A and B are shown apart, each in its own frame.
Chain A
Amino acid sequence: MIEIRWHGRGGQGAVTSVEMMALAAIEEGKYAQGFPAFGPERRGAPVMAFNRISDTPIKIRSGIYRPDVVVVLDPSLVGLVNVTEGLKPGGVLIVNTIKTAAEIRNKLNYKGKLFTVNAGRIAREELGVPITNTTMLGAVLKATGILKLEALKAPLEERFGKMAGRNMTALKRAYKEVKTAEAA
Chain B
Amino acid sequence: MGKRVGMEVAIAASEAVALCNIDVAAVYPITPQSHMAEHLADIIHDGRIDAEFITVESEHSSISACAGASATGARVYTATSSQGLMYMHEILPIVSAMRLPVVMGNANRAVSGPLNIWNDHTDIMPQRDSGWICMFAENGQEVVDMTIQSFKIAEHPDVMLPIVLNIDGFQLTHMIEPLEFPTQKEVNKFLPPRKPFASLHPDNPISMGCFNTPDIYAETMKAKDTALHNSKKTIVKIWKEWGKQFGRTYKPVETYRAKGADTLILTMGSMGETASIAVDELRKKGAAVGLVRLRLWRPFPLDELRAAIKGCKTLIVMDRAISFGGAGGPVGTEIKSLLYHDKGRPRIVDFIMGLGGRDVTVNDFIAMVERAKKKKDETYEYYGVRE
Interface status of B5 (Cβ within 8 A of chain A): yes
**Given A26-B5, A59-B274, A62-B362: A38 in contact with B170 (beta carbons within 8 A):** yes
A62 to B270, CA, bound (A): 10
Interface string of B168-187 (1 = CB under 8 A from A): 00111011111000000000
Q: Separation in Å of the A91 CB from the closest CB of chain B?
A: 19
Interface string of A19-39 (1 = CB under 8 A from B): 100110111000111111011
A23 to B5, CA, bound (A): 8
Interface status of A40 (Cβ within 8 A of chain B): yes
Give the contact-size bracket for chain A.
20 to 34
A22 to B171, CA, bound (A): 16
User: Is there contact, CB below 8 Å, between B274 and A62?
Assistant: yes
A45 to B32, CA, bound (A): 20
CB-contacts of A1-56 with B (<8 A): 18-19, 22-23, 25-27, 31-36, 38-40
A65 to B362, CA, bound (A): 12
Residue of B nearest to A27 (CB): B6
**Given A26-B6, A62-B359, A62-B362: A35 in contact with B175 (beta carbons within 8 A):** yes
**Given A26-B6, A39-B117: A33 in contact with B273 (beta carbons within 8 A):** no
Contact partner of A18 (CB less than 8 A), chosen from B117, B176, B271, B361, is B176
Q: Separation in Å of the A31 CB from the closest CB of chain B?
A: 6
Chain A residues lying within 8 Å of B32, measured Cβ to Cβ, are 38
A155 to B277, CA, bound (A): 31
Q: Separation in Å of the A49 CB from the closest CB of chain B?
A: 10
Residue of A nearest to B6 (CB): A26
Chain A residues lying within 8 Å of B4, measured Cβ to Cβ, are 26
A117 to B170, CA, bound (A): 32
Contact partner of B362 (CB less than 8 A), chosen from A34, A40, A60, A155, is A60
Residue of A nearest to B138 (CB): A61
Interface status of B276 (Cβ within 8 A of chain A): yes
User: Is there contact, CB below 8 Å, between B178 and A35?
Assistant: no
User: Is there contact, CB below 8 Å, between A35 and B174?
Assistant: yes
User: Is there contact, CB below 8 Å, between B118 and A38?
Assistant: yes
Contact partner of A38 (CB less than 8 A), chosen from B174, B270, B276, is B174
Interface status of B339 (Cβ within 8 A of chain A): no
Residue of B nearest to A23 (CB): B6
Interface status of B93 (Cβ within 8 A of chain A): no
User: Is there contact, CB below 8 Å, between B362 and A19?
Assistant: no
Contact partner of B177 (CB less than 8 A), chosen from A32, A63, A65, A155, is A32
A residues apposed to B, CB below 8 Å: 18-19, 22-23, 25-27, 31-36, 38-40, 58-63, 65, 155
Beyond contacts A34-B175, A39-B357: 7 other A-B pairs, Cβ-Cβ < 8 A, are A22-B6, A22-B177, A33-B177, A60-B273, A60-B277, A61-B139, A62-B274
User: Which 7 A-B pairs give the minimum distances between C-beta atoms?
Assistant: A26-B6, A34-B176, A38-B170, A23-B6, A59-B273, A62-B361, A22-B176
